[in-house]
Each structure stands twice: as structure tokens, then as C-alpha cells.
């Protein structure tokens, strides 16, 4: 049956930054396909709202308040998910942030904060979840890159470095964990309407119009645009797909 390839019933997914934006869009897709969810973030009110929303879709959902840059907190988060939901089959490393400054103005602590949040967190979460993902029998890791994994921007100094790095980290893990039947892939979102880009639109003048003009689909992305790709990369349908970085960008990355 075709639909069984996309069936996530009985699976447990951890989504960092799953309490809003793109992470919540992906969590919606996974819940609709039957997966139980652990939403990982720092903002308890946002996480509680996301959990209520996900439960309404008929699955189990828990919030695990965690700073994903903190190694001990990440280890405790993984233990809690396994204790409360029984297993981990899917890990989505989505938590991210940006500090928008050119290279000559960015301070070391700002550089470190962006790299730790966007890149080191994926390393910490993936490493901590690896035993559970291996035990799953068909583990899935989905890392969230960006158009800045491909292009540069004057204001995206540490952000572009982190998002380029996450693609290479994805490829390394895909190689390392293929013998465990764990697939590791990246999604590269185009310009999506979220809290993150609402800040960018305020800071970078003309950004809104430039994105519209440069996107063949003629619109900003929506968080719903990430439900389908998340289900595909989390499901048995993608068992021979690993190490890829898939743009979900309305054609932004292929416009001449």
C-alpha cells in the first residue's frame, strides 16, 4: 500500500525549535502522519501551546524545556523523551537564530552564540540521540540549513558559516550511520514567514520586495510548506535517500 510508506504511527519524533515557525510546521506534518512528538525549546508558553495544538491531531506530545547549546540539558532531554515516549526514531535539528552584522562588526561572543545554536546544537542532539536512533532500526535525522548553506549575504556572517557547516555535518553523519540504517538529510528553506524573518525584514530594508522578486513561486514560504518534506524524510519512503540537502524554496536557488 503506497500510504504505508509515509505512515509514522508508532514512531517518536524530537523537533528542536518545534514550538513555532518551521519546526512547528514540520511537527504538524509528522503528527498528521501519526508520529508522537517531543517539542524542544526554551519558551515554556510557546511549547505548551504547540503541545496542545499537536495533541488535537490525535497523537501524544510533550514539551521538554531545553537549551540545545547545553550538553547536559540535551542529554537530559533525550533521557526524558525515551522515558516518557518510549523511543526516538526521528530527530529534527531545527533550532536556530541569527545575529545580522557584517564580518568586521561581529563580536566573538556573537559568532559563538550563532555557531553554538545553529551548528553545535545539531552535533550535541544527534550524538545524544544516536543510541536511540540506532535502536529504532530505521532512524532519521533531519538538519535544517538555509539558502545561506549555498549563498552568502553581507549580514549573515556566522549564520552562513553555521548553515554551510550543517550541510557538511549532514554528509559526515550520513556516511557514519548508514550501516545503522539511519538516514541523515538536510532541508534548505528559502525565505519563510516566521518570527526569525519578521526580525530580518525590520532590519534589512527592501528585503521583503527582493525576496518576492527573486522567488519564482512569487511568494514567501509558509510553515505549512515544510510538513510534506518532513514526512518524506522521516518515513520509510526515503530509506535510500541520505546525505542530501533539499531546497524547499519556491525555486529561489535555481533562479538565474
Q: Which of 188, 225, 192 is nearest to 211 (CA)?
A: 192
The half-sphere exposure of 133 on its side-chain side, counting CA atoms within 13 A, is 27
Task: Judge whether 159 counts as a catalytic residue.
Answer: yes
Nearest-angstrom CA–CA distance, 102 and 210: 19
- Binding residue for ligand NDP (CB under 6 A) from 79, 107, 195, 209? 195
Residue 95 touches ligand NDP, criterion: CB under 6 A: yes
What nine digits make up the cell of 134? 540506532
Q: Which of 152, 139, 218, 149 is nearest to 180 (CA)?
A: 139
Please give the size of the binding site for ligand NDP, defined by CB under 6 A.
Answer: 30
Q: Which of 159, 191, 220, 232 is catalytic?
A: 159
Binding letters toward ligand NDP, positions 21-60, x by CB under 6 A: xxx-----------------xxx--x--------------
Q: Which residue lies nearer to ligand NDP by CB, 59 or 64?
A: 64
- Binding residue for ligand NDP (CB under 6 A) from 32, 34, 53, 69? 69
Sequence-separated (6 or more) residues with CB below 8 Å from residue 93: 16, 121, 122, 125, 126, 141, 142, 143, 144, 166
Q: Which residues ranging from 116 to 155 are in contact with ligand NDP (CB under 6 A)?
A: 117-118, 144, 146
Binding site for ligand NDP (CB under 6 A): 16-17, 19-23, 41-43, 46, 66-69, 94-97, 117-118, 144, 146, 189, 191-192, 194-197
Residue positions annotated with a catalytic role:
159
Amino acid at each position: 500500500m503506497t500510504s504505508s510508506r509515509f505512515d509514522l504511527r508508532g514512531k517518536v519524533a524530537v523537533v528542536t525549535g518545534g514550538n513555532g515557525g518551521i519546526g512547528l510546521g514540520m511537527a504538524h506534518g509528522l503528527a498528521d502522519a501519526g508520529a508522537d512528538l517531543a517539542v524542544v525549546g526554551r519558551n515554556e508558553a510557546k511549547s505548551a501551546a504547540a503541545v496542545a495544538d499537536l495533541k488535537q491531531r490525535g497523537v501524544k506530545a510533550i514539551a521538554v524545556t531545553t537549551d540545545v547549546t547545553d550538553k547536559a540539558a540535551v542529554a537530559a532531554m533525550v533521557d526524558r523523551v525515551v522515558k516518557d515516549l518510549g523511543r526516538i526514531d526521528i530527530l529534527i535539528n531545527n533550532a536556530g537564530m541569527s545575529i545580522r552584522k557584517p564580518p568586521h562588526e561581529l563580536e566573538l561572543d556573537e559568532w559563538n552564540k550563532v555557531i553554538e545554536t545553529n551548528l553545535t546544537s545539531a552535533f550535541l542532539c544527534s550524538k545524544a540521540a544516536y543510541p536511540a536512533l540506532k535502536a529504532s532500526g530505521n532512524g532519521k535525522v533531519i538538519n535544517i540549513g538555509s539558502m545561506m548553506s549555498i549563498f552568502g549575504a553581507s549580514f549573515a556572517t556566522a549564520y552562513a558559516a553555521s548553515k554551510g557547516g550543517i550541510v557538511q555535518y549532514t554528509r559526515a553523519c550520513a556516511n557514519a550511520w548508514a550501516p545503522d540504517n539511519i538516514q541523515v538529510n538536510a532541508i534548505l528553506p528559502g525565505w519563510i514567514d516566521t518570527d526569525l524573518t519578521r526580525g530580518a525584514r525590520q532590519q534589512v530594508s527592501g528585503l521583503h520586495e527582493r525576496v518576492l522578486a527573486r522567488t519564482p513561486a512569487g511568494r514567501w514560504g509558509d510553515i505549512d510548506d515544510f510538513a510534506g518534506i518532513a514526512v518524506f524524510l522521516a518515513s520509510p519512503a526515503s530509506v535510500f535517500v541520505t546525505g542530501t540537502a533539499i531546497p524547499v524554496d519556491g525555486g529561489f536557488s535555481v533562479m538565474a
